[in-house]
Structure 1
């Protein structure tokens, strides 16, 4: 499919794929990578012990980020139109923006995550959410209201 040249959605796709790669690094490199990325000592220790929980949680995040990468590429016109592209791009933007804005409320739920983790990851989420938001707005008319 011919690209519509939406650089913001392309940047959103690149950002999601890099985030997926960083999370994949945690699975591959284990506890030290979880520690480096600020995920908390409990997750790092579980990974070091070979427990399934960190791998499953992180694998789920990787899968979601890769699906979101595909939707950004679809919205940018790089790949074929995926089902509900317009609406899913809105939802993705909302999730990133909500995650970025709500970090103060989320911090007590994950007390082992460092303040640096919360500030950096929330800033990244706000940035990616902005890319999805503005990129989707720019593509709105070309995305159409059709389902596929």
Structure 2
């Protein structure tokens, strides 16, 4: 484990945890949170009418984001080393950065989301992806598997 904590991966963990908590807020507080966070009127109405779909989709997102936070904490040396650490951190950074710049291709699949939602969420993904990418790059030698 590194002696100097990786501030970029710590920021990645914090920002990803905040994103998970915001999504959890949608589950707990319902349709108004879905609307406020820009998930689209259809998701808000489904939540309002008690359908399972928004809760399941949002729960999966919360779980994934919390898992990503754990990987960032592991890469920062704050918790035990998790399996496939370098690969997973690279994958997380890639997913977030691709989501940040590739949102124009996603818009047609989610017509209920506003342009503001796409711009804000893409900006957040860009910042988080940069935290993961820079943090992983800085920790790369430390993350190398010691074979001896």
State the TM-score, normalized to the length of structure 1: 0.96
Structure 1 CA distance for aligned equivalents of residues 77 and 19 of structure 2 = 22
Query: 1:13-52 counterparts in 2 under 5 A?
Result: 13-52=13-52
Query: 1:52-91 counterparts in 2 under 5 A?
Result: 52-91=52-91
CA contact (8 A) 2:2 2:142 kept: no
Structure 2 CA distance for aligned equivalents of residues 50 and 4 of structure 1 = 48
CA contact (8 A) 2:73 2:79 kept: yes
CA contact (8 A) 1:71 1:82 kept: yes
CA contact (8 A) 1:86 1:145 kept: no
Length, aligned pairs only: 147
Structure 2 CA distance for aligned equivalents of residues 98 and 20 of structure 1 = 19
Query: 1:87-126 counterparts in 2 under 5 A?
Result: 87-126=87-126
CA contact (8 A) 1:3 1:76 kept: no
- Structure 1 unmatched runs, 5+: none
Structure 1 CA distance for aligned equivalents of residues 3 and 29 of structure 2 = 36
Structure 2 CA distance for aligned equivalents of residues 21 and 3 of structure 1 = 29
- Give 2:130's aligned residue: 130
Shift of 1:39: 0.4
Structure 2 CA distance for aligned equivalents of residues 11 and 71 of structure 1 = 12
Instruction: Spell out structure 1 runs of 4+ moving beyond 2 A.
Output: 1-4
Structure 2 CA distance for aligned equivalents of residues 101 and 71 of structure 1 = 23
For each residue in 1:19-65, what CA deviation from the matched residue of structure 2 results, as whole angstroms up to 9, or x when unmatched? 00000000000000000001000000000011000000000000000
Structure 2 CA distance for aligned equivalents of residues 71 and 4 of structure 1 = 17
* Root mean square deviation of aligned Cα: 1.3
For each residue in 1:89-110, what CA deviation from the matched residue of structure 2 results, as whole angstroms up to 9, or x when unmatched? 0000000001011111100110
Shift of 1:145: 3.3
CA contact (8 A) 1:3 1:78 kept: no
- Give 1:6's aligned residue: 6
